[in-house]
Structure 1
Amino acid sequence: MKPFARWTVRLRLTLLYGVLFLGAGAVLLAVTYVLVVHGPPFVKVEPPAAPRLRDVFERPVPVVEPPVQRRAEYLWRFLVASVLALVLMTFAAVGLGWVVAGRVLRPLRTITATVREISARDLHQRLGSQGPDDEIRDLADTFDGLLGRLEAAFEAQRAFVANASHELRTPLTFERSLLEIALADPDAGVRDLRAACERVLTSNQGQERLIEALLTLSRSQRGLDQHEDLDLAEAAQATLGSARAEAAARGVRVEAALAVARTAGDPRLVERLAANLVHNAVRHNVAGGWAHVWTGIDAGRPTLRVRNSGPVIPADQVDALFQPFRRLAGDRTADGHGLGLGLSIVAAVAAAHHAELTARALPGGGLEVRAGFPGDA
């Protein structure tokens, strides 16, 4: 292996220290030498021999110039001594720079060793730097924050996979049981087999809706495939027809105040966001309740706001409603109508459009969700 084949940061810093010191010393030596060479000549003052008192102020003091050869010899000795001193001090500076660079980079080696020990199974580890408040401390704290976000993302992914597996496995087990019972009955007629097939078909439709919702969630998290001019009022109006029919069956009153709110994005995803919010407001309501849909400009942003009455929601559980497979009443629903993905899709669509999504529990029960999109298209 060739020496210095890997130019580490410590080696580069050491060489940089040495080069800077050598350069500064050479400049200082050159300036000093020039000043000495071009400075005033050496003078030698000799008193007069046996002066008389009256001649002290009358006769000038003789000035004797030093020999040129002796002056050149002095300058050469000065230059050689200065160069030797500069070389010795450069070696000392390189050694000191090596030690200082090692001490400065020691926290980085600690960070590197800790990071190498971290894997996907133990993302709970943290660097926990206790050093001075400097750039390296900022790097360690930033990395700890990154590990925290990765840990949360991995946990959310594991929970999502587990919940999705449960949501898909339960109807499959139900369908298999229906078919096995129907086939095991030797007296089963066409009517019995048809009834079993219809129940399997109904269950299969629920799986289809779940898979479609999962695909929509995935597409929303991936980003926008289209970026077109759209109106939030039109997106909300498109879903009010079916929402009012469902609301009438549930005894819920739906009101709308739709004003033009233009933005840009994927029309299909924005319509899905509006549909999920409106249908969520209708389904998670109470008999004789209400739901209000509003679009317009709020704080300079095109906004869609949906409010509804309903059961009281603890304020600390509002954010959890936007997690996949989380519902208002437990983690599973008896009617099979809700998949627990509606608000998750809303959050993903809002993030893809860089929209501000806020939600708050209403004091008397119910929920208000506000999606503020970027400015006019």
Structure 2
Amino acid sequence: MTVYLGQTRSRRRFQPRNTLRLRLTLLNGILLVGAGVALVLLAWLLVGQSLHPIDELRAGSTVTLADGHTREALAWQTDMVEQASRELLLKGLSALVAIGIIGIAGAYVVAGRALRPLHHVTQTAQRLGEETLDQRIRYSGADDEVADLARTFDAMLDRLAAAFDSQKRFVANASHELRTPLAVMRTEIDVTLSDDEADVAEYRRMAKVVRNASERANGLVDALLVLARSEAQSGRRLVRKVPADMATSVHNALSAVRVEAERMKLEVTTELEPAPVVGDPSLLDRLAGNLIENAIRYNHLLGRLWLRTGSVNGLAVLVVGNTGYEVEPADVPGLFEPFQRGGWERTGSRGSGLGLSIVRAVCDAHGGTVSAVAQEGGGLEVTVSLPAADTTPVVAATASVKPRPDRTGLQQKT
């Protein structure tokens, strides 16, 4: 039984693969031989129907051959047609076999040359790894379908390489951000425990530092989870899609940061018109919250904060602007990358550097866009545009919760 299985496996190993090259060769061979057979049969029928000269003679007529023999015309015609048909079939089939062999061999060679770039693609894909993503096909042949495939493959490798690089930077930055609060907690605990004269006040101070560091780490983990959730839904159908209004999200976010805004004595200006959308309300609340929190966090004492919402040309628009630290226009696109903070060192910022990254991911998940413009004298104005929903039902539902100047307790101008 074992020998039989071994023989079967060996037999299967030597069986030819049903490759694309073999299928193209067989298809070309079948077409070539089929066309040749049709031509031979057509010639055979034409010969059989055209060689009838005796039909115009009288019955009983005879013909004298070159050797002097006399034969009946009808018998001589029958022999001549049979002989011509036989020779046509023999010579035609012989030529067909020769042409078929040559054609099949030529088709095999031509198919191999045409599919050579595909083998190059396969070999390149087999060599690819995390350390060899710089390899490309760089096809230089004819501008045909194979060239399109090679260019598409190279473009895909470019996107993969960019994604891998971005992922590496993200992991490195996330590790650094998480390591900082953990290192602070460990240092505070070790220093306090090593002090034999530490009293209750010292332990309270240590506990407060550890709590703040743990809150920072917890906030970073929450932000990472929101970012991953938003990016996972980018370009796909949202898990949750219900009518919402970005004006309501802005109002809720303002209520949450009321104390911080009052502490910095900010002048808050709001123009909140209905901005109905269909999407995930929790993600939209986080989008508005991140923008407003950043506008307050990176503002200065007695600064300004302005907020606008509305619908323009089928888009629900949210604008959040603030005064604050000066941002170079060239640095604005990088602010939407994870762990980037304009004008702040990583160790000196209170945030995690994920706020605008989450905003961009939420916009992508809802099929919208986000852009930012650096303000003269300092500050930033961020504009979010999402596909607007049907205004009739949404406006009616949100009209009763339209924010008023006195709800947040801030110094507002509407």
Give the TM-score band, short-chain normalised: 0.7 to 0.9
CA contact (8 A) 2:372 2:382 kept: yes
CA distance in 1, matches of 2:185, 2:163: 33
2:247 corresponds, among 221, 225, 233, to 233
1:343 corresponds, among 338, 356, 361, to 356
Aligned counterpart, 1:159: 169
Aligned counterpart, 1:258: 272
Deviation at 1:225, TM superposition (A): 3.0
Q: In the superposition, relative to structure 1, how do residues 31 and 256 fare at CA in structure 2: closer, same or farther (>3 Å)? A: farther
Aligned counterpart, 2:317: 303
Q: Secondary structure of the equivalent of 2:148?
A: helix
Q: In the superposition, relative to structure 1, how do residues 94 and 342 fare at CA in structure 2: closer, same or farther (>3 Å)? A: same
| Gapped regions of structure 2 (runs ≥ 5) | 1-10, 58-72, 391-414
Deviation at 1:287, TM superposition (A): 4.1
Deviates more, 1:176-185 or 1:96-105: 176-185
CA distance in 2, matches of 1:192, 1:311: 36
User: What is the percentage of aligned positions where both structures have the same residue?
Assistant: 39
Q: In the superposition, relative to structure 1, how do residues 42 and 243 fare at CA in structure 2: closer, same or farther (>3 Å)? A: farther
Deviation at 1:316, TM superposition (A): 2.9
TM-align CA RMSD: 2.4
Deviation at 1:214, TM superposition (A): 1.2
**Residues 23-34 of structure 1 aligned to structure 2 (within 5 Å):** 23-34=34-45
CA distance in 2, matches of 1:331, 1:102: 59
1:152-198 CA distance string (max 9 Å, x none): 11111111111111111111111112112222222222222122112
Deviation at 1:343, TM superposition (A): 0.6
Residues 1:191 and 2:201 are matched in the alignment: yes
CA contact (8 A) 1:18 1:90 kept: yes
CA distance in 1, matches of 2:275, 2:92: 78
CA contact (8 A) 1:21 1:90 kept: yes
| Gapped regions of structure 1 (runs ≥ 5) | 47-63
What is the letter of the counterpart of residue 68 of structure 1?
A: T
**Residues 25-64 of structure 1 aligned to structure 2 (within 5 Å):** 25-39=36-50, 41-42=52-53
1:200-227 CA distance string (max 9 Å, x none): 1122111111111111112212223312
Q: Secondary structure of the equivalent of 1:256?
A: strand
CA contact (8 A) 2:249 2:284 kept: yes
Q: Secondary structure of the equivalent of 2:387?
A: coil
CA distance in 2, matches of 1:160, 1:320: 13
Q: In the superposition, relative to structure 1, how do residues 30 and 303 fare at CA in structure 2: closer, same or farther (>3 Å)? A: farther
1:359 corresponds, among 338, 358, 372, to 372
2:224 corresponds, among 214, 220, 239, to 214
2:338 corresponds, among 324, 331, 349, to 324
CA distance in 1, matches of 2:322, 2:256: 17
Q: Secondary structure of the equivalent of 2:243?
A: strand
CA distance in 1, matches of 2:320, 2:35: 70
Task: Give the length in aligned residue pairs.
Answer: 359
1:10 corresponds, among 21, 39, 42, to 21
Q: Secondary structure of the equivalent of 1:254?
A: strand
Deviates more, 1:99-108 or 1:309-318: 309-318
Deviates more, 1:367-376 or 1:274-283: 367-376
CA contact (8 A) 1:244 1:254 kept: no
1:22 corresponds, among 33, 52, 59, to 33
Deviation at 1:17, TM superposition (A): 1.0
CA distance in 1, matches of 2:251, 2:52: 99
Aligned counterpart, 1:108: 118
Deviation at 1:284, TM superposition (A): 2.2
CA distance in 1, matches of 2:259, 2:204: 30
Deviation at 1:360, TM superposition (A): 3.2
Q: Secondary structure of the equivalent of 1:373?
A: strand
Aligned counterpart, 1:271: 285
Deviation at 1:330, TM superposition (A): 4.2
What is the letter of the counterpart of residue 350 of structure 1?
A: C
What is the letter of the counterpart of residue 18 of structure 1?
A: G
1:221-247 CA distance string (max 9 Å, x none): 222331211112111221122345423
Aligned counterpart, 2:294: 280
Residues 1:247 and 2:261 are matched in the alignment: yes
CA distance in 1, matches of 2:106, 2:333: 55
Q: In the superposition, relative to structure 1, how do residues 40 and 297 fare at CA in structure 2: closer, same or farther (>3 Å)? A: farther
What TM-score do the two structures reach when normalised by structure 1?
0.87
Deviation at 1:15, TM superposition (A): 0.9
What TM-score do the two structures reach when normalised by structure 2?
0.80
1:45-79 CA distance string (max 9 Å, x none): 99xxxxxxxxxxxxxxxxx7761232132123212
Aligned counterpart, 1:293: 307
